[in-house]
Amino acid sequence: MILRSAISTASEEFRLRYRHNEAVVADFRRRQDEARTVRSEQALARLASQRKMRPRERIDLLLDPGTPFLELSSLAANGAYDGEAPGASCITGIGIVSGREVMIHADDPTVKGGAWYPLTVKKIVRALDIAIENRLPVVHLCDSAGGQLYHQSQVFPDKQMAGRIFRNQSILSKLGVKQLAIVFGHCTAGGAYIPGLSDYSVIVRGTGAVFLGGPPLVKAATGQVISADALGGCDLHTQVSGTCDYPADDEPHAITIAREVVAQWQQPTKFLSRETEVEAPAYDPRELYGIIPRDIKNAFDMREVIARIVDGSRFHEYKPAWGTTLICGFAHLWGYRIGILANNGILFNDTAKKGGHFIELCNQNETPILFLQNITGYMIGEEYETAGITKDGAKMIMAQACSHVPKFTVMCHASFGAGNYGMCGRAFDGRFLFTWPNHQIGVMGGEQAANTLAEVKLQQLKRRGVTATPEELGAIREEALAAYLDQITAYHSTSELWDDGIIDPVDTRNALGIAISASANAPLGAPGNGVFRF
Amino acid sequence: MPTTLLHDDTPILVDIVARVPELAVEIDGVQHRVAARSSADPRAFSLLIDGAAHEGWVYRGATEIHVRHAGRTTIFAVPQRSAAGSARAGNDIRADMPGVVVSVHCAAGQAVGAGETLLTVESMKLQAALSAPRDAVVDRVHVVADEAFERGAVLLSFRIEAE
Amino acid sequence: MIASVLVANRGEIACRILRTVRRLGMRGIAVYHFADRNAPHVAMADEALELTGSVPTAAYLDQAQIIQACLRAGVDSVHPGYGFLAENAAFAEAVAAAGLVFVGPDADTIRLMGDKIASRNFARAQNVPVAPSATDEGDPTAFLRQAAAIGFPLLIKASAGGGGKGMKIVRSADELQENIRVAASEALRYFGDGRVYAEKLVEAPRHIEVQVLGDGEGSVIHLHERECSIQRRHQKVIEEAPAPRLPPSVKNAICDAAVRLATAARYRNAGTIEFILGADGAFYFLEMNTRLQVEHPVTEEIVGLDLVEEQLRIADGKGLSRRQDEIRISGHSIEVRICAEQPERDFRPATGVCGVLRWPADARVEAGVAEGQEVTAAFDSMLAKIITTGSTRLEAADRMKHALDEFVLLGVPNNADYLARIVAHEAFREGRLDTNFLVEHSADLLPAQRAPEPAAILAALMADAGFRRVVDDVPALHAAIGRWRN
């Protein structure tokens, strides 16, 4: 049935929310624009002197004209390294090249020569994880000075650090998922393995170079003075060493060759079927601005969100009268059938069981699942513990974690406590997780956390025999709240790559469409579950 | 990547703006909506452009597209720049096989045209002419007639062009 | 009795001749070089024999091979067409020596008319006006003096030449000596014969020629005149019959002169006597072509005769089919020459494949190419002729404009659009013609290149599979989302 919106777009509350969220999104766009475009004059001059394009120009040229690009984690590292590495000094995203869906990873030579910071590595690893999970071919646009030496302990040694990039590349190749590297600039040290482990590679004459140790390192180690081009340039690698495959005269030529290479790849088999008749939502998605509350504590009907995301605003709601704080039902999004779980309040025993049951229905039906999170937790208190809220919550988590269909999560407003787990938080290997800029995430809400932290502080003071005045108490509480609030913002979250990027709520439908389409490239895993605690 | 056509050596850049509900392209900053209508003869075209019907003839040659429309024949060249051959191959000519130089047809400082034979070499009883991959100036010929060389040896270098 | 004809030519004229040969129930044999293996004259002949040679044009000039081919095919006659061996006296002799009929005049006539100086002397002797001239008789000082006496401007021409090669215009006495020297050295280089002569230059003349038929026994009739003033660098571009705006007295004088000359030569075969006509009505003998002309169809159209049939009849000893008083002209006919050249690029010769070839429906077409055929630089650039006829000149011109609009040749750059501009030009429609026409009106005829229309650009793109793939290969969902960035 077509959802009927209960919102009055003429109401004062709608207007206030609309203006508020418009400002929230404008702030997001400003930050994003800054991260994408603001660079030092020196870096841009250097790029121009090398006749290099900016990485986004490279991507635009690589993509099929008139097609979308879903950029991931555009604000990664926005709160790290004193803002030194906007976008974590790389660009990742999904686009169409020669008619094929591909993951693009582009180094950003305008940020510290494209050096890899810890979060750069995390972002690239995540992009390749996505490529593996969704069987997406990858095009690497290489132009990086290598690992940031100052942060080497956070870049090099651990399981999810730089080595993981090369591990993921190898696994992709083993899975038969194609990779192509275009070497625009230097690929030094570990970075050399990106073209080295790609199935195909193109290298630009004059500026492209691949070597395990660059000229300075060679000089330091052996005293030999050699140019970058002689050590690992285009002619060496395409004519002598065979490390790279295609020589290119310049960057546009390299991109032309890359598009030709991708055009040779077999078109993927899709594992999800899609309706060809696609209706736009019956309600304007911009109205989401008037729906999302101004205050994190205010509830709202998630059906209003569903009505502005899914095809034709058509939603078949499952068990509409039972466990009503969790909305479950089927819809289509850009033609793909999906199951939706959307929070409409706290999770109770019945809602947890309803959610678990609905996930099983989706599993049996091989229907991807979309989680729309606005959750402040599972209900607590004697009554619910007695009824086994932990046991019922565990059932939902078990069903969700073991589900073998593609899962997608949108962080719409609040994500506090264990509700995050049941609703496919970051730890649960959803294929994609996007965050709205108004969103907050934490083990508990800001107010509760501030009170708890103030209480802990007070206890410490008390043990030292200090008594605080009410003013001091207030100051302690304010300080704790400020620190905590900073940590629970969407910006902090996305900076740390706890998501695949902040998106404008209006963009949710397109982002999910591209994400679901990408997910359809991978076969569904084997169905099955662990032990449910009944 | 926009599609490029050349008319009288002037590039025309065409960008696809949209495919749905119909194809929309931008030519020189002006958008046009295009729908192809079927025609019985594949060489005849029938297009609906911004709502107006246009008919004519078109021929796709190897490197050119010829169009007859409204009493005018227009010839477009399709730029040929692809992986098939770097328009400006490397600066060295290397030996694919070990062999002996039969004859040298050029000298250092000589300007040579693409396709011009530079060296004749013999490897494994097979004679091969090595020709210039592009217009270039010979910087050095590293071998002389009757000289033997190994696989991968640099036989000839071109002058590195000032960028 | 001629029962079979070998056509020692190629292109449109080979097709033209074969058509009549076959219509008359004779066997038509073609010769061809490998480069012409897909040419239509090969396909339409009863038999086609290959000529070999590393230079394709040289194969069609290889007399020994062609005589061999005649003997192999067992033909009894050879039609040389125009160009190649058509005016080669030695070939005419070789054909006769092989016991075959040469469809053309005897070798002596060819020799006489092939020599500029001798032919002019012959014309003068028959009272045919010849432009005042001076000939180099081996005394340079005398030649210089005689040349200067003609008056300026004057032309220096190669005695053995043709087609404007080695020709020099001299406008004053002090330029004369140097120009004679240069013309002589060019003549030697082009024709292997350094003899030159000087001739009065008629400025902006018209080119009028008369078609004659002679039986070789002294009977000669004329089939009226043609106007060939639309020329580019002495190459005819558009011809018509009859000549427009020609006073009857001048017309009669020219035709009479032509018949006088051909009769005196006891001319056998179809032939053409070319004249230049000054603005003052004075006309001068230029040369006689002892063969079928490229532009013969316009005459055929207005007199209703098949000139190839007449040629074969004469060669067969059956004489002329008509008396002069039986020749009537009706209507007006125009011919254009479709050439593989690029008018907008200084008429540079063009090559390519006849990818799309659509002939106009209501016009006579003499074509030497077929769709799919490759046009190389090996041969002359003329591909075809389009001929339209009307009851009046303007009707013929209107039909030609329509025919050229309808004509489609894609794959080989050609002059069709340029020809269309000529026939639509006001001066052409008014019949104000002289050999300077194309230069005088070049601003109108070669307008600055306009940028291509969007429709043409889009048609080109839609015909390109590479572009269509970029459009069509995008998954439907992404195509629907379009150029979206988050």
A186 and A302 both lie in a single domain:
no
A494 CB within 8 Å of a chain C CB: no
Cβ proximity of A516 and A368 under 8 Å: yes
Subunit contact A257:B17, Cβ cutoff 8 A: no
Residue C333, Cβ neighbours under 10 Å: how many?
A: 28
Distance from C-alpha of B73 to C-alpha of B71, rounded to nearest angstrom: 7
Using an 8 Å Cβ cutoff, are B153 and B100 in contact? Answer: no
Which is it for strands C220-232 and C235-241: parallel, antiparallel or unpaired? antiparallel
**CA C272 to chain CA mean position, Å:** 12
Report the neighbours of A using a cutoff of 3 or more CB pairs below 8 angstroms.
B, C
> A295 and A220 in one domain?
no
- Would you give the DSSP letter of residue A502? B
Residues in B 93-122 with any Cβ partner in A closer than 8 A? 94
User: Which residues of chain C make contact with B60, given a CB cutoff of 8 A?
Assistant: 355, 463-465
**Cα A251 to Cα A187: distance, rounded to the nearest angstrom:** 16
Task: Residue A469: give the domain boundaries.
Answer: 444-488
Q: Look up residue C440 and give its two tokens.
A: 């005088």
Measured in angstroms, the CA of C467 and the nearest CA of chain A are apart by 11
Q: Which chain A residue lies closest to C476 (C-alpha atoms)?
A: A276
Q: ipTM score here?
A: 0.94
Task: Identify whether A35 is part of a domain.
Answer: no
> How far apart are alpha carbons C18 and C308 in whole angstroms?
9
A residues 514..533 contacting C (CB < 8 A): 514, 517
Q: Which tokens belong to A145?
A: 């000075």
Query: Is B58 in contact with C482 (Cβ distance < 8 A)?
Result: no
Section B18-45 average pLDDT: 91
Minimal CA separation from A51 to chain B, in Å? 10
Chosen for mutation from A96, A275, A506, A507 (greatest number of chain C CBs closer than 10 Å) is: A96
* Alpha carbon distance C468, B34 (integer Å): 12
Mark yes or no for CB contact B90/A249 under 8 Å. no
C250-298 pLDDT per residue, tens: 999 999 999 999 999 999 999 999 999 999 999 999 999 999 999 999 9
Q: Do B5 and C471 touch (CB under 8 A)?
A: no
**CB < 8 Å to A64, chain C:** 470, 473-474
Given C420, C458, C471, which is nearest B19 (Cβ)? C471
Taking an 8 Å cut-off on Cβ atoms, the answer to whether B90 and A260 are in contact is no
Interface of B with A in 124-163 (CB under 8 A): 152, 163
What does the pLDDT look like over B75-116, one tens digit per residue? 999 887 665 555 456 678 888 888 899 999 999 999 998 888
Does one domain contain both A370 and A458? no
Burial class (CB in 10 A: 0-12, 13-18, 19+), C237: buried
A466 lies in a domain? yes
User: Quick check: A96 contacting B, CB < 8 Å?
Assistant: no
pLDDT (tens digit, 9 = 90+) per residue, B33-60? 999 888 788 889 999 999 999 999 999 9
Residues of C with active-site annotation? 291
Residues in chain A: 534
Judge whether B14 is closer than 8 Å to chain C, CB to CB.
yes
Choose the mutation target among C348, C449, C457 for the interface with B, i.e. most B CBs under 10 Å: C457
Q: Is residue A19 situated within a structural domain?
A: no
According to CATH, the topology of domain B92-158 is OB fold (Dihydrolipoamide Acetyltransferase, E2P) (2.40.50)
* Contact at CB, B16 and C454, closer than 8 angstroms: no
- Closest among C65, C53, C64, C49 to C14, alpha carbons compared: C49
Query: What is the Cα–Cα distance from C260 to C127, expressed in whole angstroms?
Result: 8
Instruction: Look at chain A and report how many structural domains it folds into.
Output: 3
Kind and range of the H or E run holding C134: strand C133-135
Amino acid type, A135: R
The predicted pLDDT at position A451 comes to 82
Q: State the amino acid at position C43 in one-letter form.
A: A
Long-range Cβ pairs for the range A446-453 (8 Å, 24+): A446/A296, A446/A481, A446/A484, A446/A485, A446/A488, A447/A297, A447/A481, A449/A480, A449/A481, A449/A484, A449/A488, A450/A477, A450/A478, A450/A480, A450/A481, A450/A484, A451/A477, A453/A477, A453/A480, A453/A481, A453/A484
Instruction: List the one residue out of A248, A236, A235 whose CA is nearest residue A203.
Output: A248
Q: Same domain, yes or no, for A85 and A222? A: yes
For residues C177 and C331, which has the higher predicted lDDT (pLDDT)?
A: C331
CATH number (3.40.640.10, 3.40.1010.10, 3.30.700.30, 3.40.190.290) of B3-77 reads: 3.30.700.30
A418 with A448, same domain: the answer is no
Task: Pick from B16, B32, B86 the residue to mutate for testing the A interface (most A CBs within 10 Å).
Answer: B86
Q: Is the pLDDT of residue B162 over 60?
A: no
Radius of gyration of chain B (CA): 24
CATH number of domain containing A160: 3.90.226.10
Q: Count chain B–chain C contacts defined by CB atoms under 8 A.
A: 131
Q: Hey, are the CB atoms on A235 and B92 less than 8 Å from each other? A: yes
Q: Is the peptide bond before C132 cis (omega within 30 degrees of 0)?
A: no
pLDDT for B86 equals: 53
CA of A236: which chain B residue's CA is closest?
B90
- Most confident residue range from B132-136, C51-55, C300-304: C300-304
CB contact under 8 A, A234 and B163: no
Q: Give, in order, the Cα–Cα distances in Å from A505 to each of A25, A345, A422, B133.
A: 8, 20, 22, 54
Retrieve residue A499's tokens: 């998501």
- Beta strand A316-318 with C77-79: parallel, antiparallel or unpaired? unpaired
**Is A228 in the same domain as A245?**
yes
- Rounded distance between C-alpha atoms, residue A407 and residue A427, angstroms: 12
Q: Is A277 on the interface with B (CB under 8 A)?
A: no
Nearest to B49 among C454, C464, C467 (CB): C454
Measured CA to CA, the distance from residue B66 to residue C352 in angstroms comes to: 11
CB-based contacts of A246, cutoff 8 Å, min separation 6: A200, A201, A202, A203, A238, A254, A257, A261, B83, B86
What is the average per-residue pLDDT within C91-106? Answer: 97
Q: Is residue A278 part of a domain?
A: no
b (16+ CB within 10 A) / e for A438-470: bbbbbebbbebbbeebbeebbeeeeeeeeeeee
Residue A13 lies in a domain: no
Do A99 and C474 count as a contact with CB atoms less than 8 A apart? yes
In a domain, A532, yes or no: no
Helix (H, G, I), strand (E, B) or coil at C276: strand
Please list the residue range(s) of chain B that carry CATH number 2.40.50.100. 92-158
Cβ-defined contact of A68 to C469 (cutoff 8 Å): no
Co-location of A224 and A104 in the same domain = yes
pLDDT of residue B120: 92
Domains of chain C: 4-103 (3.40.50.20), 132-200 (3.30.1490.20), 206-445 (3.30.470.20), 452-486 (no CATH)
Are residues A123 and A232 both part of a single domain? yes
Q: Is residue A43 part of a domain?
A: no
Between A63, A235, A260, which is nearest B82 by CB?
Answer: A260
Q: Which residue do the tokens 């006006």 mark? A: C129
For position C203, what pLDDT does the model report? Answer: 87
Could you tell me if A380 and A513 lie in one domain?
A: yes
Our CA angle for A37, A42, A48, nearest 5°, is: 75
Confidence band for B163, pLDDT divided at 50, 70 and 90: very low
Q: Using the beta-carbon criterion (under 8 Å), do A61 and B1 form an inter-chain contact?
A: yes
C287 three-class SS: strand
- Residues from chain A that touch C477, judged by Cβ atoms under 8 A, are 274, 278, 334-335, 513-514, 517
| Partner-chain contact C473 A71, CB within 8 Å | no
Nearest to A438 by CA among A73, A28, A6: A28
**Which residues of chain A have a CB within 8 Å of the CB of C473?**
64, 98-100, 263
Mean pLDDT, residues C72-100 taken together = 96
Which residues of chain C does A334 touch, with a Cβ-Cβ cutoff of 8 Å?
477, 480-481
Average of pLDDT values for C20-32? Answer: 97
Q: Do residues A101 and A229 both lie within one domain?
A: yes
Cα of C479 to nearest chain A Cα, Å: 6
Q: Which residues of C touch A517 (CB under 8 A)?
A: 475, 477-478
Nearest CA among C160, C146, C213, C169 for reference residue C190: C160
- Other C-beta atoms closer than 10 Å to the C-beta of A231 total 17
In a domain, A21, yes or no: no
Which part of chain B is CATH 3.30.700.30?
Answer: 3-77
Per-residue pLDDT of chain A (534 residues; tens, 9 = 90+): 899 999 999 999 999 999 999 999 999 999 999 999 999 999 999 999 999 999 999 999 999 999 999 999 999 999 999 999 999 999 999 999 999 999 999 999 999 989 999 999 999 999 999 999 999 999 999 999 888 777 888 888 889 999 999 999 999 999 999 999 999 999 988 889 999 999 999 999 999 999 988 898 899 988 899 999 999 999 899 988 999 999 999 999 999 999 999 999 999 999 999 988 899 999 999 999 999 999 988 999 999 999 999 999 999 999 999 999 999 999 999 999 999 999 999 999 999 999 999 999 999 999 999 999 999 888 889 999 999 999 999 999 999 999 999 999 999 999 998 899 999 999 999 999 999 999 999 888 777 888 888 888 888 888 888 877 888 888 888 888 888 888 899 999 999 999 999 999 999 999 999 999 999 999 998 999 999 998
Q: Nearest 5 degrees, angle CA A503-CA A505-CA A506?
A: 110
A230 and A371: one domain? no
Residue A345 sits in the same domain as residue A482: no
The Cα–Cα gap between C453 and A24 comes to: 47
